[in-house]
Structure 1
Amino acid sequence: MNNDSKDFFKLNITINRDSTFNLRLVLLRSLNREAKDSYSLVLVAKDGGNPPKTGTQKIIINVTDANDNAPEFTQKIYNVTIKENTAPMETILTVSASDKDLNENAKVSYRISEYNLNKDRLGDTFVMISETGELKVKSDFTALAGQVVRFFIEAYDHGVNPLYSQAEVVVNIEDDSNNAPKVTISFITAGNKGFVDIPENSMNNSFVAYVDVVDSDKGDDGVVDCSVSNSHFSIVKISKGFKVVVNSILDREVLSTYNLTVTCSDKGTPVLSESASFLLHVTDIN
């Protein structure tokens, strides 16, 4: 036997009572087909003559495959950035894994891991094609715009007792639309539609109207500030929206009706704005 074969195989010889021999080739340590898949040995028999006669027998040992290797992804973490309006069933990522085994033990398929904490939501959002490793989207991402979604995927082989490995997918969802704010004016007095009455002796900071602003965008696209068209009034940020308040002395005899316009603008690029107007009637005080 050559040197590398001697590390793995040994010939055990026992002599029978009738002077025949029992020969057993014994495995000394575990084999690794992925490192070496065959061994070539030469068995030499020598008699006791002078000079001795010899005979040889070549032995080829082929190492068959065992499913002792899990698939390995080409990356441990896959980062992908997509738009919030990515079309359903569009492929956003294709992953790949290889297995050092053979045949069914080396055939690799892919899936989203069952061990994800948010697996139900993931099932409604993404689908993985098991045969190709393609990750596709199933639904619109508008509600997730500006967010980052993280989850685990798995590559598994087709052995009798399948082995698998995991990788992490990080999906960055870009806010692809900058929508103008939606502005609604409302008043304390029930039934007022587009107007409000304010006594002429109203003090500074007296309440005039509520300004409700809705902007569903993320980041600066959803940051809104508002202004009012007349310097006799100002606009103040409150916990929910804004309010218009009196900012200086009102005199009905000078001006009895104000046409006020509230304009709300976001901080996106480009800046988008929306306005709403109402009439303010200054009521008389004797």
Structure 2
Amino acid sequence: TRRQVLLFVSLISFSTAAAQISYSVPEEMTKGSLVGHVAQDLGLDVKRLKSGKARVFTRDSTAYVELNRDRGILLLKERIDREALCEQIMPCALHFQILLEDPMEFYSVTVEITDINDNPPTFRTSQAHFNISEGVLIGTTFTLDRATDLDVGENSLKAYSLNPSDIFSLKSVNQMDDGKNIEMVLNAQLDREKNELLTLVLTAVDGGDPQMTGTMQIIINVLDANDNAPIFTQPVYKAFIKEDQPIGTVIIRITATDADEGANGHISYSISAMTDQGHGLFKIDKGSGEVTLNGKIDYEKAKNYEVNLRASDDGGLTGSSKLIVDIIDVNDNRPDIHIMSTSNMIAEDAKPNTVVTIINVEDADSNDNGNMHCVINNNDYFALKSTSEKFYTLMTESELDRERISAYNITVTCSDE
């Protein structure tokens, strides 16, 4: 894919700068809060900010930070919700440049948005219902829905507790990564004649200060004899799908077996839990176990999804497995070219290697689909040089003579691989 930009060049010289500074602010600070003394930290005079018409340069309109030239400081332009901005990505940071003109300079700035404990753990539903046979053996496990917490780090979900815990207790099972399934373990024999209905409370606790919690009620109907739980053919399933596949595409068919006969051996499939950003993207046929795409996926937003699967028989027993869906990148983004200078003039006595403008180019795709190369049309007076990743500098290559040529049309072409 390629994109062309027409650049008109006439008469002013520029210089570049390579300083880089970083700041850190907590989320949810009020509009107008101080981010940092950018002029002082960059060693710039406030007068230079004014004369150079200093401004914040971002690639889109989501500029959360603004520059106060008179005081040489960066201020928050609006309140930032870290979870809305970055979801689970750590660290969460804003990247932008401070741009000055005449001569042209730019400085890279990174502002990390740190998490505060402003979200409690939450369960997908307020109640979970189980139908469990009184003949189930002690030690049998039942998969529970996990809680989710939008916060990260120490403020994220840390532990679960179950109350009362005399008949059932909790067991955490690692599955290939840091994600955990929560399982309830039977510790004592059930007796339908003594108690046919049990009510438990599952509590999720985060690590913040103060601590925040979320709860889900577990209601258990005690039934008669069903002594075999469904078992998946694999503990973990893997599947691959291209990001441009249409809704309804079949991803995989999963299978579980149950040694019981009749209703106690009849299996229904369901999705028990998955990551927040994946909710609604996949669905499963409860009878066939066929998993299909139910929403638009984008490799640039998520490279894989984890789906927790549940197989339930009509007697109330369950089995669990996990499906990992890897997203395959498609070259669906063309290079995006941005001209950073607002001027289109240069003096005819400018020396060779004078900077005319700086060009910022990005491609949202990954690997070869996102690797870019930029060139200009044949021109004896100008050259395009790569100064750093995603930045090119257009410079004079020989002396200019306005009486011979008073204006140049330069075509910049950027292609991905």
Report TM bin, short chain: 0.5 to 0.7
- Percent identity of paired positions between Structure 1 and Structure 2: 32
Determine whether 1:138 maps to 2:294. Answer: yes
Residues in 1 aligned to 2:301 and 2:252: alpha-carbon distance in whole angstroms: 18
Give deviations 1:93-152, integer Å, cap 9, x for gaps: 1111011122222111111123x4x1x432221112222211111112235578222332
Look up the match of 2:18: none
**1:201 is the counterpart of 2:349:** yes
How far 1:238 moved relative to its partner?
4.0
Partner Cα separation in structure 2 for residue 109 and residue 210 of structure 1: 60
Q: Cα deviations across residues 138-179 of structure 1 (Å, max 9, x unaligned)?
A: 1122355782223321212221xx222222212122223354
Contact 1:156 1:165 in 2 (8 A): yes
**2:365 aligned residue (191, 211, 217):** 217
Q: Distance in 1 between matches of 2:305 and 2:252?
A: 14
Aligned match of 1:243: 393
Question: Taking structure 1 as reference, are residues 225 and 70 closer, same or farther at Cα in structure 2, changes over 3 Å only?
Answer: same
Match of 2:211 in 1: none
For 1:125 and 1:248, locate their aligned partners in 2 and report how far apart those are by CA, in whole Å: 57
Gaps of 5+ in 2: 1-134, 138-223
Counterpart code for 1:109: S
Q: Report the 3-state secondary structure (helix = DSSP H, G, I; strand = E; otherwise coil) of the residue aligned with 2:365.
A: coil
86-95 vs 205-214, which moves further: 205-214
Bigger mean CA offset, 80-89 vs 136-145:
136-145
Amino acid aligned to 1:224: M
Structure 1 position 100 matched with structure 2 position 259: yes
- How much does 1:92 deviate? 1.4
Question: Is the aligned partner of 1:266 residue 2:416?
Answer: yes
Q: Distance in 2 between matches of 1:144 and 1:111?
A: 28
TM-score, normalised via structure 1 length: 0.59
Aligned pair 1:175/2:321, yes or no? no
Distance 1:148 1:179, change over 3 A: same
Q: What is the aligned counterpart of 2:319 among 132, 143, 165?
A: 165
**Alignment partners' CA distance in 2, 1:257 and 1:215:** 30
Check the 8 A contact 1:145/1:175 in 2, yes or no: no
Structure 1 residue ranges without an equivalent (≥5): 1-29, 33-64, 190-195, 268-286
Query: Contact between 1:234 and 1:247, CA under 8 Å: does it hold in 2?
Result: no
Structure 1 residue matching 2:345: 3-state secondary structure? strand
Distance in 1 (alpha carbons) for counterparts of 2:302 and 2:393? 29
Counting matched residue pairs gives: 194
- Would the aligned equivalents of 2:338 and 2:359 in 1 still touch at CA under 8 Å? yes
RMSD of equivalent CA atoms: 2.8
Moved over 4 A (4+): 143-146
Higher relative contact order (CA 8 A, sep 6+): 2
Of the candidates 283, 288, 291, which is equivalent to residue 127 of structure 1? 283
Within 1, Cα distance between the matches of 2:414 and 2:371?
10
Change (3 A) 1:125 1:146: closer
Q: Is the 8 A contact 1:84 1:144 kept in 2?
A: no
Question: 1:253-276, CA deviations, whole angstroms, 9 ceiling, x for partnerless residues?
Answer: 454332211111111xxxxxxxxx
Contact conserved, 2:312 with 2:319, CA < 8 A, in 1?
yes
Query: What secondary structure, in the 3-state scheme, does the structure 1 residue paired with 2:226 have?
Result: coil
Among 295, 303, 306, the residue aligned to 1:147: 303
Q: TM-score with structure 2 length normalisation? A: 0.42
Q: What SS class does the counterpart of residue 198 from structure 1 fall into? A: coil
Q: Distance in 2 between matches of 1:206 and 1:166?
A: 65
CA–CA separation in structure 2 for the residues paired with 1:242 and 1:125: 39
